[in-house]
Amino acid sequence: MKITNKRKSITELTARVLVLFLFCFLGIHAFAQSKAISLSGTVTDQKGQALIGVNVVATGTSSGTITDTDGKWSLSVPTTATELKFSYIGYTDKAISIGSSRVINVQLTESTEQIDEIVVIGYGSVRKSDLTGAVSSVKADAIARQPVANVAQALQGLATGVSVTSNSGSPGGSVSIRIRGIGTINDANPLYVVDGMPTSNVSFLNGNDIQNIEVLKDASATAIYGSRGANGVILITTKHGVIGKDQIEFSSYWGTQQINTDLGLLNGQQWYDIQTEINKTRATPINLANADPSISTNWLKEVSQKAFMQNYGLSFSGGDEKSTYNLSLNYLYQDGTIKKTNYERINSRFNFERKVNKAISVGTNFNIATSDRDKILEGSNTVGIMNSAIKLEPVVPVKNADGTWGYSKYIDYPNPVAAIEYTNSNEKNLNFVGNLYAKVNLAKGLVFKTLLGINFNRYDSYDFDPTYFVSNAQQNTINRVYRGYEKTDNIMTENTLNYNGNFGKHSINAVIGYTAEQTRYEDIYATKQNTPNNTAEMQYLSAAQLASSATATGTAYESALLSYLGRVNYSYDDRYLATTTFRTDGSSRFGKSNRYGYFPSFALAWKFTNESFVKNLGLDWLDSGKVRLGWGQVGNQNIDNYMFQNLLTSSAQYAYLYGIPETLYQGIVAVAMGNADVKWETTESTNIGIDLSLLRGRLNFSGEYYNKTTKDMLLIEPIPYFLGFETGPMTNVGSVQNKGWEFSFEWRDKIGKNFGYNIGGNITTIKNEVLSLGTGKAISGGAIRNGNATYTSVGNPIGSFWGYKTDGLINTAEEYADVRTRQPKADYGDVIFVNNNKDEVLSDLDKTVIGSPIPDFIYGFNLGAEYKGIDCSISFEGSYGNEIFNAMRYFTYSLADVTNKSVDVLDYYSATNTDGTMPRLNGNDQNDNNRISDRYIEDGSYLRLKNLQIGYTLPVSLTKKFYVTKFRFFVSGQNLMTFTKYSGADPEVGQISSTNYLSRGVDIGTYPQAKTITGGINITF
């Protein structure tokens, strides 16, 4: 009953909005068209060349058009019109009075000043020069030119302060974005807002649809998103039609992708020789007669493939005085570089806006995307495909001569080629994001906007384990169908009142608003065994026959967010700027006592170059300059629902049997402690910045210092066992600090008439430190084969690598005598583990920080050039000072076991090689040389040629006969070169899984990023 009431409240709200609409339609007089006159003319540049696509608008009316390919235009304007305005990007606007002449020819002059861009800041926009917070902007072309499925991936290296890491190179794999460090051990992903719709994921977006991306970084910018602002906000605006510029655009590319399969592992003979040596010390030697050293299987090569990808996009856009539209359709298909992985996506977008009358505009932005993804097992440190491909012995053939599968005779690790063969793992997604909105001009400068949005997601998963036999350890005798369905429905409404006004030297831009949002989630998972055969047609539950094997599970939740927000931007004399933001969020995720959070921010900026005393200095190299100072508090509500409640469980574990014969009865009980007082994580941040424009707009520079501290970080409080609960309550006790500097610059100039070029770069430093974990103990994470790779403890970065330090190998009698006191079973050639705490014994207490996945700095730089029709762009991105925990070394650096090894192992210590860099071969390793230590740690720094593209646009004079305004073809390379010392497949190592936040930088066999080469065309009609 209660639920229905709640449902009603949002329906009621919708009804109220609709009533308001109706009122506005009825109450405001329709716009009346009066008599018109016809005008025409030509627009040229200083050299008399025709300018194509110049905007021509009759000032104060809705009449407008653009020039054609000959620079010609014609327009009918109301008789009341007195002036025409001509505008063109890169040229100074020109206004011409309408006289008696009906033909108006205009010459535009190139502008020397940079255009003051409009920057979207959430519930409004400001001129870039009026920004007071820390915001990075990324333009459409930088995104569109990258052949990547996920827009988030394309952001890599492009925006200051934004660290982008793919968790997997698998097509359709997840991406982690961290803005200005990592503020919490919980979910630190930013909030995405696409055309005003908050969402946690942007995999549904087509890169070609994006107009621009703004990244809000400091609290003064993100406070308008309150409880979701702590991890930063990425605002994405999609393309809208341009008035008077109807066009059809077709674009396509095709390409191939591949990965590096040479990881420097042993060949068959080398493996055989090493094992022969290890056998000498094994208690029970392995029978090497079972291995054929002439077989040298490169498992990585066997599981990988040269993969194809293709993309086709078609869009229609344009508009007239009353309406603009942008319709697009895009198809993407990408095979993975590991066999049996691929990703297919179709998306369709519909953006439309129409002026209903003088006062009201209505519009919509809708996106529908469907995707279909085949995937393989990743993230398993025992049977993951990449993991197996690295560790399986090279002497195992993929298949034996008789056609049966090869398998290890010594250890129960799977044959990864066979494992792929028997993998049937598919997921399909249907996503529907869209909104309807209306804007009403209530009075001069006062605009009311109301928006109703939905974000519906349907996710289906299909898995099938066929019956097969590879070996005793890798077989399945009864097949099983798995089927899952997840449904997320999000509905929201947003109502804002914007005001813009100028009073002499005072200027105000303000917004107040109210938003409400509700999400409902439900899933169903079912499995059943024993279908008649393994064919694709039988991989459905209805074919499975073993009734007793059927299982079904499901979960559901609802959450809601109710918010009030406000912001005032005040400017005095275009010299002093002040912004204050306030948001209060009510969230259903918290108990009544802590339901509302309050998130304020303040920012000041000073455009010192507008001061007369600066102007009087006559610094003609300095165009404009601004310093900024901001402070604010924002929240993170990326936590589970219902943590304030004591939840009961009826899971199978809590059942009991009685009766003869026994019958199972299900019990219900609370096994986790709730905490009614759980509340938001709060991040307080301070930002100081400077923006400079120099040398007549050719050089732009920004520098910032940030310091953000997360307080009340949510941790599961450890509880003693005698309380009898399995998990402790979530409590707000932790604190984390991130601070650093950001610098970015861009130089843009022309040499001569035809050669234009630009150079840009950015760098961000990050210092991350856990300040407190309350009464809680350090948190282990990143589970690997022999323990945990990461350890989050006070005074160290989040998710630091933790283990023993080593000090080479025992080589001298002194070392032997000294080390044996702490490592009693050590011998010459064994690893010396550092007795870090200087006590008598070597124990867990000697473990310490041995590396950090968080880089000292991340950077990116790009070059672009244009000469006549040729364009070229190059972008690099990199990371410096981070380490990678190469967990594969548990196998490849082991000097005792049978798995494949790194060639480094060949330099093992022995009586004849006392300078060996690797420990002695020892099948009975009593010293535990393989324990977690800095032997697993590698420098994770890298510099990557992210994208290189060369294009050529045919001259318009050639193409216009075919009604083509632009015909461009290009070749492009993604990840062409990577400079790194890391020995693994790829230095871009994300998390083991998208929600395993403390496993960053731990490589248990990461699906590597592909090197992609594509070619394609863009045609505009």
Ranges within 507-566 binding other proteins (CB under 8 A): 512-514, 516, 518, 522, 548-549, 551, 554-560, 562, 564
The least CB distance from residue 681 to other proteins, in Å, is 19
Residue 2 or 35 with smaller CB distance to other proteins: 2
**CA 828, chain centre distance (Å):** 48
Among positions 456, 570, 642, 705, the unique one binding other proteins when judged by CB under 8 A: 642
What is residue 956's DSSP assignment? H
Site for other proteins in 430-449 (CB under 8 A): 440, 442-443, 448
Segment lying near other proteins (by CB under 8 A), choices 4-12, 694-702, 912-920, 993-1001: 4-12
Site for other proteins in 562-591 (CB under 8 A): 562, 564, 586-588
Among positions 25, 576, 725, 969, the unique one binding other proteins when judged by CB under 8 A: 725
Residue position matching structure tokens 């650096």: 893
Amino acid at 577: L
Residue 613 or 721 with smaller CB distance to other proteins: 721
Q: Are 296 and 273 in contact (CB under 8 A)?
A: no
The least CB distance from residue 439 to other proteins, in Å, is 12
Phi, then psi, of 500 in degrees rounded to 5: -130, 125
Let me know the angle formed at the C-alpha of 565 by 561 and 568, rounded to the nearest 5 degrees.
165
Residue 98 or 497 with smaller CB distance to other proteins: 497
Q: Where are the beta strands (DSSP E) in 210-273?
A: 210-216, 233-238, 247-258
The mark string for 595-614 relative to other proteins (x by CB under 8 A, - otherwise) is x-------------------
The least CB distance from residue 592 to other proteins, in Å, is 8
The least CB distance from residue 791 to other proteins, in Å, is 15
* 661 interacts with other proteins by CB under 8 A: yes
Count of CB atoms situated within 10 Å of the CB of 191: 24
Among positions 692, 719, 733, 872, the unique one binding other proteins when judged by CB under 8 A: 719
The least CB distance from residue 215 to other proteins, in Å, is 29
Amino acid at 289: A
Site for other proteins in 612-641 (CB under 8 A): 641
Q: How far apart are CA 424 and CA 421, in angstroms?
A: 8
Structure tokens at 771: 């300040």
Site for other proteins in 98-127 (CB under 8 A): none
Segment lying near other proteins (by CB under 8 A), choices 70-78, 411-419, 428-436, 720-728: 720-728
The mark string for 15-34 relative to other proteins (x by CB under 8 A, - otherwise) is -xx-xx--xx--xxx-----
Count of CB atoms situated within 10 Å of the CB of 1021: 15
Using a CB cutoff of 8 Å and minimum separation of 24, what contacts does 572-577 make? 572/505, 572/506, 572/507, 573/505, 573/610, 574/507, 574/607, 574/610, 575/606, 575/607, 575/608, 575/610, 575/611, 576/604, 576/605, 576/606, 576/607, 577/130, 577/132, 577/603, 577/604, 577/605, 577/606, 577/607
Among positions 497, 538, 541, 1017, the unique one binding other proteins when judged by CB under 8 A: 497
Let me know the angle formed at the C-alpha of 1019 by 1014 and 1021, rounded to the nearest 5 degrees.
170
**CA 145, chain centre distance (Å):** 17
Segment lying near other proteins (by CB under 8 A), choices 256-264, 673-681, 708-716, 886-894: 673-681
Amino acid at 514: Y
Residue 491 or 849 with smaller CB distance to other proteins: 491
Segment lying near other proteins (by CB under 8 A), choices 320-328, 576-584, 723-731, 763-771: 723-731
Q: Whose CA is closest to 910, among 901, 902, 900, 921?
A: 921
* 717 interacts with other proteins by CB under 8 A: yes
Residue 537 or 844 with smaller CB distance to other proteins: 844
* 308 interacts with other proteins by CB under 8 A: no
Residue 497 or 1017 with smaller CB distance to other proteins: 497
The least CB distance from residue 1 to other proteins, in Å, is 12
Residue 155 or 440 with smaller CB distance to other proteins: 440
Q: What is the dihedral of CA 689, 695, 696, 697, to 10 degrees?
A: -40
* 227 interacts with other proteins by CB under 8 A: no
The least CB distance from residue 411 to other proteins, in Å, is 17
Q: How far apart are CA 684 and CA 220, in angstroms?
A: 10
Instruction: Spell out a b/e string for 737-755, using b for 16 or more CB atoms within 10 Å of the CB, else e.
Output: bbbbbbbbbbbeeeeeeee
Count of CB atoms situated within 10 Å of the CB of 124: 18
Among positions 269, 426, 610, 649, the unique one binding other proteins when judged by CB under 8 A: 649
The least CB distance from residue 72 to other proteins, in Å, is 41
The least CB distance from residue 492 to other proteins, in Å, is 12
**Beta strand pairing call for 655-658 and 663-666:** antiparallel
Count of CB atoms situated within 10 Å of the CB of 951: 19
Residue 325 or 791 with smaller CB distance to other proteins: 791
Is it true that the peptide bond before 190 is cis, omega within 30 degrees of 0? no
The least CB distance from residue 554 to other proteins, in Å, is 7
* 1 interacts with other proteins by CB under 8 A: no
The least CB distance from residue 285 to other proteins, in Å, is 17
Residue 15 or 695 with smaller CB distance to other proteins: 15
Among positions 324, 371, 450, 531, the unique one binding other proteins when judged by CB under 8 A: 450
Among positions 503, 613, 621, 722, the unique one binding other proteins when judged by CB under 8 A: 722
Number of residues lying near other proteins (CB under 8 A): 89
Cβ-based neighbours of 323, under 8 Å, separated by 6 or more:
241, 352, 353, 354, 355
* 662 interacts with other proteins by CB under 8 A: yes
Residue 27 or 618 with smaller CB distance to other proteins: 27
